[in-house]
Structure 1
Amino acid sequence: METRDPELKTELDAALHARNELGSDYESALVESFLEKVEQRLDTTLDRRVRRHLAEQQVSVARGARQPQPLGGFGERYGFGIISLILAIPLSAIAAAASHTEGLIIAWLGIIGVNAVHAARDWPWFQRRSGHSKSDWND
């Protein structure tokens, strides 16, 4: 397995080793634990990137460069979609375990709804209805 994060690879190896020792009875707990660690790592990485982006904008403004543009470019839109799909995996597992098909349908409708609202913020008719325009972010 080629990975950029050796700590995460070590955690995965430890989870697989524990599964071999403990058996399949503890498999769901081990998977849940590993997914929590992955989610924490994603949150940490995302926070670091957002802080770096904001710092770069502040430096740019301090140097007299043009006003920073609002977030919402290619990276944010697709990054949001990818992260929501990654987080959909444990949500789907929990929903399917708790209430089978109905829970799974409700979970995925929520995921689709969140992504639709996130995508709709850039649509002109949505901005007129909500009373916000892109220039509101520059104030």
Structure 2
Amino acid sequence: MPENTLPRDEMRATIEARRDLGPDYDSALVESFLDKVDDAIAARIHNELDARMGPPPAPMPPPPHVPYAPYPEPPRGRNSQMWLALGTLALGIPLGAIGAGTAGFFGFALVLMAIVLVNVMANLPRR
């Protein structure tokens, strides 16, 4: 069936259905007819766009699934461990004094254990 005859044939069918059903179904018949006309217009627009733009591009394939991507190891300079040790010693002196002044020997020992823990954890080999 050619594209131009669809609304005319549908209109004839709607008028014949109105004659059979009576005026009680006018709004339902008009809605049905308008839906079919909208579909015909949308099909014409899609055909015109396809003719002008060509077919749509093929969808891209999904990216490959990588179950685990480890974080890259941060680059370390040759002196990074030395700077960490010097930094913790520089912070350890005032923190040790504060810990000893507030909690006595226990506070001083706690600060020293924290400094040792930081240095040990920083020098552990990375997995």
Q: Same fold (TM over 0.5)?
A: no
Q: Which protein shows a greater Rg?
A: 2
> Normalized against structure 1, the TM-score is what?
0.37
> Normalized against structure 2, the TM-score is what?
0.40
Q: Which has the higher helix share?
A: 1
